[in-house]
Amino acid sequence: MHRARMTLLVFILAAISITAYSQKGGENETGPYDLVPNWPQNACGDGFQIGSVGGVWAESVDRVFVYARGCLPVLPPATGIVPTRNASQYSLAAEDPKMWPRWDHVLMIFDRNGKLVESWEQHNKLFVRPHRVVFNPYDPERNVWLVDDGAHSVYKFTRDGKKLLMTLGEFRVPGNDQTHFARPTDIAWLPNGDFFVSDGYTNTRVVKFNKDGKYLLEWGKPGKGPSEFNTVHGIAIDNQRRVYVCDRANSRVQIFDENGKYLDEWDNIRYPYYIYMSKDQHLWVGDGYTNKILQYDLNGKMLFSWGTFGQFPGGIWGPHQFSVDEENNFYIADVHIGRIQKFRPKPGANPAELVGQRFEVPASR
């Protein structure tokens, strides 16, 4: 019996060795992840595909929220290096009606198998250019927040989508005061319910509100100096309650205290589309020029990156928002191609290279 087990072990080790040495080529395009093929299922119907995807949030492995800009005729396959069409040009905010998508399947929820669970068609009239879907991690009711930069509005819905609880901003009316936005982009919260809105493509500021949506303060103006912005595109908070802000067109991330005092900046990040604070206190950045996912420690040192530009499955063209579920699956809103992609950790992947669970500020701080 002992000899039989030893023979079996030698056979297994030999098979593993042969397999390892027989694998040639490859470019490690998806880093520490494997792409989950054909996820999600096509909700738009034959001949159509999901439009430009602004947001994704994995509330759980079986409730993945996708916030997209309607449905488009299927993009033709790329015959060269450059993708064939930019899906993000198609939006109800476009001046040319030919660039308007079919306006359905805007807010969708998918399960782990990519099956459509819900589609909030009853709210489509509120949406113009979906940008982000976010949850307040300190809210036990798990209400859903949607940021629509084309509507110049931020919406708070019940988790089931049946009731609109709050609207900040005025529908399709831009402004730069306490009750208006001009193309807002993202939200981040403190444990007491205070939250920050990055505002945005037109305005160049961060606005702080209390839990009831009452205006508290703001900071920022146009420019390239400290506390000045050019496209305020995302926001995150660390365990010291420092506020990190994507200053996209200035190719940097700026850092402030919770009252807007300038603390620091990290330069030479080409085009930060999205920032995400993980529990292990790393800031992850989705870069829209290099189409990479970048990992930084909180001193601004880059530790790791992965991602490859392309329309092919597993490639990236516009990492507009990403999210991680409780099983460490990684989801990315590919804004320019018009798709959502799901990745699972590779067997034996280095945990330090995986995007960790989302951080929540301890309530005692």
pLDDT at position 8 over 90 = no
What share of the chain has pLDDT > 90, as a percent?
Answer: 87
Residue 305 neighbours by CB distance under 10 Å: 16
pLDDT attached to residue 15: 47
* pLDDT at residue 9, as a whole number: 47
Q: Report d(CA 355, CA 37) in Å as an integer.
A: 20
Write out pLDDT tens, residues 67-125: 999 999 998 887 778 788 899 999 999 999 999 999 999 999 999 999 999 999 999 99
Tell me the mean pLDDT in the region 226-249: 98
Query: Does an H or E element contain 11, and which?
Result: helix 2-22
Task: Quickly state the pLDDT bin for 18 (edges 50, 70, 90).
Answer: very low
Supply the pLDDT for residue 151: 98
| Six token digits for residue 122 | 């009853």
- Annotated domain spans of the chain: 34-353
Report the pLDDT value the prediction gives residue 269, as an integer from 0 to 100: 98
Residue 162 is encoded by which pair of tokens? 């049946």
Q: Answer whether residue 12 shows pLDDT above 70.
A: no
User: pLDDT tens digits for 26-50?
Assistant: 888 999 999 999 999 999 999 999 9
Question: What string of DSSP letters covers 80-137?
Answer: SSS-S--GGG-STT-SSGGGPPB----EEEE-TT--EEEE-GGGGGG-SSEEEEEE-T
Mean pLDDT of the chain: 93
* pLDDT tens, residue by residue, 202-215: 999 999 999 999 99
State the first-to-last Cα distance of the chain, in angstroms, to the nearest integer.
61
The pLDDT value recorded for residue 80 is 78
What average pLDDT does range 54-79 have in this prediction? 94
DSSP string, 324-352: E-TT--EEEEETTTTEEEEEEEPTT--GG
Instruction: Say what the pTM is.
Output: 0.92
**Is 1's pLDDT higher than 60?**
no
Euclidean distance between CA atoms 47 and 27, whole angstroms: 32
Q: Comparing 80 with 243, which gets the higher pLDDT?
A: 243
228: Cβ–Cβ under 8 A, 6 or more apart, which residues? Answer: 204, 220, 221, 222, 250
The CATH homologous superfamily for domain 34-353 is: TolB, C-terminal domain (2.120.10.30)
Asked if pLDDT for residue 306 goes beyond 90, the answer is: yes
Confidence check: pLDDT of 3 > 70:
no
How confident is the model over 274-289, as a mean pLDDT?
97
Whose CA is closest to 288, among 226, 229, 237, 231? 231
Q: What percent of the chain has pLDDT over 70?
A: 93
Mean pLDDT of the region 143-164: 98
CA 320 to CA 336: how far, in whole Å?
9
Give dist(CA 37, CA 250) in Å, integer.
Answer: 36
The mean pLDDT value for 129-156 works out to 97
pLDDT at 19 over 60: no
The confidence score (pLDDT) of residue 76 equals 83
